Amino acid sequence: MSCRRGSLIVLEGVDKAGKTTQCKKLVHALQQSGRPAEMMRFPDRTTQIGQLISSYLEKKNNLEDHTVHLLFSANRWELVPQMKKKLEQGITLVVDRYAFSGVAFTSAKPDFSLEWCKNPDVGLPKPDLVMFLQLNPSVAAGRGEFGTERYETSSFQRSVQQRFEQLMKDPSVNWKVIDAARSIEVVHSEIKVLCENIINTAENLPIGELWK
């Protein structure tokens, strides 16, 4: 087993940007090139907290807005021991959404500040790289209808996009904006190169703490 740690790589973006497709392709490509890699996604709907979140998103239950924000955060914290163990074992984690989605979605609701929304996630393992899949809302709309889950409307997604843009101004996070309007393969190639570079750079560095 390698004593060099794996990298924590996050893909973010509004719905229909292609995050899940790209995460899967990236994990596959890294594994093919002999680099241990696994995919994770948030919310992780398999845990007890995740099941509460899932039924909220499916509109089967209603939760107070602050409460659900804290549940999304708790759903990340409950997986931190497992994430750290894997990173220390040299496994690169490719994560479909993380705290940035948490902040962008809640702060798109009325009366939520970015600062309040960030607080519960302060100190999470800090991603070595956060790739933001950028897609114009009109192009996203052309990729098909939104589903029926909570938040899946064009106007809410526009507010989410604005919140992401605010978060991307923070230089303490290693953001890379990826033009997601291109073909799946072209986007994949760019992402793969960025990841290979970050894996080589991060392997000797300690895992950071987010927003600390």
Name the residue whose CB lies closest to ligand NYM: 102
Contact 26, 192 (CB under 8 A): yes
Positions touching ligand NYM (CB under 6 A) are: 42-43, 57, 72, 97, 101-102, 105, 151
- Minimum CB distance to ligand NYM smaller for 54 or for 189: 54
- Minimum CB distance to ligand NYM smaller for 49 or for 195: 49
Beta strands (DSSP E) in the chain are 8-12, 37-41, 92-96, 129-134, 175-179
The distance of closest approach from Cβ of residue 148 to ligand NYM in the complex, given in angstroms and rounded to an integer, is 12
The distance of closest approach from Cβ of residue 121 to ligand NYM in the complex, given in angstroms and rounded to an integer, is 8
The distance of closest approach from Cβ of residue 202 to ligand NYM in the complex, given in angstroms and rounded to an integer, is 22
- Minimum CB distance to ligand NYM smaller for 47 or for 189: 47
CA atoms of 198 and 126, how far apart (whole Å): 13
- Minimum CB distance to ligand NYM smaller for 30 or for 160: 160
The distance of closest approach from Cβ of residue 146 to ligand NYM in the complex, given in angstroms and rounded to an integer, is 10
152, burial (CB in 10 Å: exposed 0-12, middle 13-18, buried 19+)? middle
Q: What is the gyration radius of the CA atoms in the chain, in angstroms?
A: 17
- Minimum CB distance to ligand NYM smaller for 42 or for 175: 42
The distance of closest approach from Cβ of residue 192 to ligand NYM in the complex, given in angstroms and rounded to an integer, is 22
167, burial (CB in 10 Å: exposed 0-12, middle 13-18, buried 19+)? buried
CA atoms of 95 and 101, how far apart (whole Å): 12
92-96, strands of its sheet edge to edge = 37-41, 92-96, 8-12, 129-134, 175-179
